[in-house]
A and B are shown apart, each in its own frame.
Chain A
Amino acid sequence: DSGVTQTPKHLITATGQRVTLRCSPRSGDLSVYWYQQSLDQGLQFLIQYYNGEERAKGNILERFSAQQFPDLHSELNLSSLELGDSALYFCASSLLGTGGETQYFGPGTRLLVL
């Protein structure tokens, strides 16, 4: 158990809908990362937050947004969902959010868009 929690575990929704994925980092970690795992793209970095501020952006679509709250939990919002958004979404956390730091991953949220 990494100490990172994600809810929900599974999510089934329809095209055009909006969903929110939630992540709580390990106790003491200030930085949160979101990754998407799909069969065709593999594991891709989406976005990073550090102590409430956005720090880095990866291959995140404009339909997707995220935020980190004062209690350090984070939410990833996916809107206008398409079939291709079906994937496993991971949250990870690290202490300081610096390069080269170990990131600890949650169990993931499996999203299925029908």
Chain B
Amino acid sequence: AQSVTQLDSHVSVSEGTPVLLRCNYSSSYSPSLFWYVQHPNKGLQLLLKYTSAATLVKGINGFEAEFKKSETSFHLTKPSAHMSDAAEYFCVVSLRNDYKLSFGAGTTVTVRA
């Protein structure tokens, strides 16, 4: 079985400061891990994907995530938040033998001016 836990339901940061969104996963096999973002009244957009090629994954809009197998974590970071980063972020896991994506509960990011 696979599951994803997003450790924070809500994160609030000031514009220009770093953002950290925490995600832990549990999986019996090597998973594929994703971060998706959902802006208000919009669909889900892929930020980045980990597939075991490199533990540090760079995504769009300055985001990156680090896969740590020993900690079963896949935290998402951005060095400097922008107002446009205000959205909901989902950590997602998928296995080679399972067709579906399993979503975390989501983290809502608020950016203060």
Contact = CB atoms under 8 A, between A and B. Distances in A.
A90 B99 contact: no
A97 B99 contact: yes
Interface string B37-64: 0000011111001010000000000000
B34 interface: yes
Q: How large is the interface on B (under 10, 10 to 19, 20 to 34, 35 or more residues)?
A: 20 to 34
A94 B11 CA distance: 31
A48 B103 contact: no
Nearest to A4: B43
Contacts of B44: 90, 92, 105
Interface string A35-53: 1000000111100100000
Contact of B100 (A4, A33, A90, A102): A33
B96 interface: yes
Interface string B87-109: 00010001111111111011000
A100 B101 CA distance: 8
A55 B100 CA distance: 10
Interface residues of A, number: 27
B32 interface: yes
A106 B46 CA distance: 11
A10 to B, nearest CB: 10
A98 B101 CA distance: 11
A56 B94 CA distance: 14
A71 interface: no
B1 to A, nearest CB: 14
B44 to A, nearest CB: 4
A58 interface: yes
Contact of B106 (A42, A90, A98): A42
A105 B96 contact: no
